[in-house]
A and B are shown apart, each in its own frame.
Chain A
């Protein structure tokens, strides 16, 4: 199980780094004509912090003999499909393909997904709580993990919101958008499981992991800021076109921070 988890982590880490390279190439290509892209840079930052994060986990599992908790394996297995879908679509787009699929309407399996995910998160949460016994201690080096759980969850909720707005106007769902939403949700759960094992004392906290986690915090914050600012229209990016086409979305009325 430990080696399987290590292999999955290394694979995932390499895919993220590859995606980072793809976005970096695209960023360089479009820079001259469209200027700086916040989303592009944020994606690159995410890919180059998430990728090393998983690589670091994988290498510690494989080489340093770190144990693999079953809940972490479960979290990774659940997180793999959206990550794989999204990465495959990005690779398809890189090869000149469509890079997305459209799901018309809201089929039953899709309508059931939120409930399924909520149940999964509840079960994982409850199981993790059972892990925490008397010997559990919260080390201050785990702070970035807590922050990342909150950020990934917030990013996922923003993405879900934009997906819902997209569905309202297009009458269906973008598989790529949905898988990215799922990716962030499952990442939050993965971090939560790792955190629980670390608090329970099952996992040791290693210095490399702490550094990569701290580096992930500004990257995730930047990504969250970009997604939100793009949605609100407070930042100029490559979505600014000369066509004058303006998509009316949820925008200000539904943003709690704006309302505040």
Chain B
């Protein structure tokens, strides 16, 4: 029998301790408790009861020349037991106690009726009573089952007093009947209690384990001692990737291909993660990587724990592997952001500081010189504010708190206004080409202004004094807006990443244009939020064109159910809808 020997390790200021498994061992003094009744058995019994009632009723209809007592029995079956059996069958669906308790009770009374009205069926009715009590003992708690056994015996004895003396059962047979009934209750109760307890504990443990394995974000992969994968949770399957649909049976080396530094970890002679130590090892695991299908490295944090057999050898190894790609990316983004933001903030701050210092050092400077210095400080302050506003907007986009008021908007006046603003601020010449009288698309006015401003700023920044152009035209699906410059342009690699956050076309040590690297990220995010699309077309040395396509359709809410009167393709589905049967999820 294997023993789980997970090492105790500190986690978030605490330690994972071995918690005793829930179930009989932790339930205190073991007191057998009956589990939930077997609803499948109750349903099967309900079906059998209905079938028997219908069969008996049909038999009653077919037989002729019956004695009054027999006739009364068949009427009782048809008019009382059959409807009651139907109710029991239906009640079973509601998972109520009516089906569980009402079935055996009615059966017991029905057998009693047979004992009174069909005296020739004496021995058969005893067997029927035993069967009824057996069933009750298997689905009822012990006390009610005992009570039913007592009632059943009493009714049987009472029935003997109302049938003709010639049809009465032998006393030894009745005694045997009572003994058998008691023994049956004892035995079945004991078996069912034990089974219920074991099943309850097992299903609870299994459900708990399944839930943990399925929900845990870490990939858990269990291998044998030579690295063959035995078990894998969904997160583990995702790690292994779509290339290997079912990793069970594959070798850990082939499926995962973990690398430590530049060395491929070989599991064929025991899991190397178990023996790794020294530099690079942390209490939470070890940083390794694997090659993804796209050829990029996937950084992982891996740890392993051995499941040791009784003879002391490693029987299985439980690997815990966490994908830390996002953490790494976030870390890199944070570093990049700090470098970019500090660089961008430093330039205007240096200039502001310089002019302030000059004004303090030379209090006698002329009014013109002072005004010039103040204007420079003001200009740089505006630059600082713009940088901070972009960073704030980027943060809002990231957290999803940007509220857009989408409506059909004529973009023509907005584009006129934004171009005029750029021309007024920079004195640059912008060619404006707006085709069509009305250029209507779904947009948010403020967001579209931000998009156009950023694209125009970008074009102005990277084109020196070269020509700029902004145009808009009707597109089949809405409006197409483009901003073109004839500046430095981008190569395909740069164009592919230009919308990434904090990305800059030039490395930080050779940057000529400044900027936090979030303008195009903001533009793309806002365009997507408005239901539009953006694309870039660029050639190094010849310029760049950004094209924004906005649609005419407002985002639609989730489709509602079809109103009546629109027929389903299937008559059965249509009927379900018409009689008000609710549609349900297939989950």
Contact = CB atoms under 8 A, between A and B. Distances in A.
Interface of A: 22-23, 26-27, 29-30, 34, 37, 39-40, 43, 90, 93-94, 96-102, 138, 140-141, 143-144, 146-147, 150-151, 159, 162-163, 165-166, 170, 172, 174, 176-177, 180, 210, 214, 217-218, 221, 224-225, 227-235, 237-249, 252, 255, 257-260
Given A27-B572, A249-B580, A257-B96, A150 B567 contact: no
Contacts of B87: 257
B576 A237 contact: yes
Interface string B81-118: 01100110111011111100000000000000000000
Contacts of B299: none
Task: Rank and list the top 5 A-B pairs by shortest CB-CB distance, nearest first.
Answer: A143-B78, A162-B580, A258-B94, A247-B582, A99-B567
Interface SS of chain A: helix
Contact of A240 (B54, B566, B584): B584
11 contacts: A23-B571, A30-B570, A144-B57, A150-B83, A166-B580, A174-B578, A227-B581, A230-B576, A238-B572, A239-B581, A258-B96
Given A176-B578, A243-B583, 17 more contacts: A30-B573, A98-B566, A162-B580, A162-B581, A172-B564, A177-B579, A180-B579, A210-B61, A217-B54, A218-B50, A230-B581, A234-B93, A238-B573, A239-B577, A243-B585, A246-B583, A257-B87
Contact of B572 (A39, A96, A225, A246): A39
A240 B61 CA distance: 41
Interface string B50-75: 10001001101100001000010011
Contacts of B583: 239-241, 243, 245-247
Contact of A246 (B50, B565, B575, B584): B584
A102 B577 CA distance: 12
A218 B96 contact: no
A228 B575 CA distance: 14
Main secondary structure of the interface of B (DSSP, over half): helix
B11 interface: no
Contacts of B66: 140
B582 A249 contact: yes
B164 interface: no
Contacts of B584: 233, 239-241, 246-247
B78 A146 contact: yes
Given A101-B565, A150-B83, A239 B578 contact: no
B413 to A, nearest CB: 42
Contacts of A97: 567
B91 A100 contact: no
Given A93-B574, A140-B75, A260-B91, A247 B561 contact: yes
A140 B75 CA distance: 6
Contacts of B96: 257-260
Contact of B94 (A159, A170, A252): A252
A30 B572 contact: yes
Given A100-B565, A170-B564, A242-B586, A147 B576 contact: no
B30 interface: no
Contacts of B79: 143, 146-147
Given A224-B90, A257-B98, A147 B78 contact: yes
